C-alpha cells in the first residue's frame, strides 16, 4: 500500500510539474504577444472569422459574434492599458513556480499522512 501511495505521489508530482512548466511558458508567450502587439492582430483576425455552419446549429450566431467582439475589445483594451507588460513576465513566472511549490508541499503532506495512516491500519506484522 505504501508503495502505491508513493507511486501515485510521483505520478501526480510529475503531472503537476509539467502543468507548472506549461503554464509558465504559456504566460511568457502571452505576455510577449501582448507586448509586441501580436495578440491584438491575432484577436482581430479571430474576430473576423465567420461562424461555422455546424456551430450555428448549437449556438446562436449573434451570441457567438458578440463573444468574438467582446474578446477583441478586451485584448485591444489590454494592449492600450498595459504597454509595458513585457517586464511582468518574470513576476508571473515566479508566481507560477511559487504556486507549484505550495501545491507540491501540500501533496507531500497528504501522501505522508496516507503513509502514516497505512502503517497504523495494517498494524504490526507477525514474524
Which pLDDT tens digit goes with each residue over 6-62? 999 999 999 999 999 999 998 888 877 777 777 777 777 766 777 777 877 888 878
Is residue 80 scored above 80 in pLDDT?
Answer: no
**Per the domain annotation, does 35 fall within a domain?**
yes
Q: What pTM did the predictor assign?
A: 0.65
The DSSP line for 6-66 is: HHHHHHHHHHHHHHHHHHHHHHHHHHHHHHHTHHHHHHHHHHTPPPPHHHHHHS-HHHHHH
pLDDT digits over 95-127, tens only? 999 999 999 999 999 999 999 998 888 766 665
**Per the domain annotation, does 127 fall within a domain?**
no
**Per the domain annotation, does 6 fall within a domain?**
no
Number of domains into which the chain is organized: 1
Domain housing 113:
12-120
**Per the domain annotation, does 7 fall within a domain?**
no
Torsion, Cα 54 60 66 71, to 10 degrees, reads -50
Amino acid at each position: 500500500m505504501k508503495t502505491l501511495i508513493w507511486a501515485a505521489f510521483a505520478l501526480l508530482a510529475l503531472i503537476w510539474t509539467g502543468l507548472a512548466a506549461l503554464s509558465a511558458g504559456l504566460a511568457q508567450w502571452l505576455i510577449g504577444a501582448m507586448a509586441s502587439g501580436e495578440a491584438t492582430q491575432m484577436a482581430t483576425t479571430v474576430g473576423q472569422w465567420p461562424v461555422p455552419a455546424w456551430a450555428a446549429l448549437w449556438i446562436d450566431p449573434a451570441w457567438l459574434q458578440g463573444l468574438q467582439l467582446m474578446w477583441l475589445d478586451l485584448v485591444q483594451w489590454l494592449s492600450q492599458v498595459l504597454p509595458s507588460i513585457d517586464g511582468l513576465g518574470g513576476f508571473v513566472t515566479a508566481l507560477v513556480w511559487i504556486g507549484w511549490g505550495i501545491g507540491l508541499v501540500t501533496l507531500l503532506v497528504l501522501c505522508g499522512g496516507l503513509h502514516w495512516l497505512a502503517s497504523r491500519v495494517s498494524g504490526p506484522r507477525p514474524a
